[in-house]
Amino acid sequence: MEMMAADLCLRQYSGIFCQQCLRVSGTSWTQNCTLPGLSRGLLRKSSLSVSPSAQFISCSVPSLNGGIMPKRKGIHVMSPDLQTPGLEMECLDAWDDEYNGVIIDTECLPSSANAFASVLRASLSNWKLKGKRGIWLKIISEQADLVPIAIQEGFEYHHAEPGYVMLTYWIPNEPCMLPGSPSHQIGVAGFVINEKREVLVVKEKCPCSCSGVWKLPTGYINKYEEIFSGAVREVKEETGVHTVFLEMVAFRHAHRVAFEKSDLLFVCMLKPLSSEIVIDENEIQDAKWMPLGDFIEQSFYREDYMSKKMILICIAAHENGYHGFTAQQLISKLDGRLTFLYYQRSKQI
pLDDT tens digits, one per residue of 286-334: 999 999 999 999 999 989 999 999 999 999 999 988 999 999 999 998 8
Q: Which CATH number fits domain 94-170: 3.30.413.10, 3.30.1540.20, 3.30.360.10, 3.40.630.30?
A: 3.40.630.30
Q: Quick one: DSSP state of residue 215?
A: B
Residue 203 CA to residue 298 CA, distance in Å, equals 13
Tell whether pTM > 0.85. Answer: no
Q: What is the pLDDT of residue 89?
A: 59
Same fold, 94-170 and 184-342: no
Domain parsing of the chain, residue ranges: 4-78, 94-170, 184-342
Q: What is the pLDDT of residue 348?
A: 73
Q: What is the pLDDT of residue 88?
A: 56
The answer to whether the beta carbons of residues 215 and 201 sit under 8 Å apart is: yes
Task: Quickly list DSSP for 300-342.
Answer: HHHH-HHHHHHHHHHHHHHTTS---BEEEEEE-TTTSSEEEEE
Q: What is the pLDDT of residue 79?
A: 34
Low-confidence ranges of the chain (pLDDT < 70): 1-89, 207-209
Q: Is 59 helix (H, G, I), strand (E, B) or coil?
A: strand
Run of H or E residues at 294: helix 292-296
Neighbours of 83 (CB within 10 A): 8
pLDDT tens digits, one per residue of 135-178: 999 999 999 999 999 999 999 999 999 999 999 999 999 999 99
* 184-342 placed in CATH 3.40.50.720: no
Q: Quick one: DSSP state of residue 193?
A: B
Run of H or E residues at 217: none
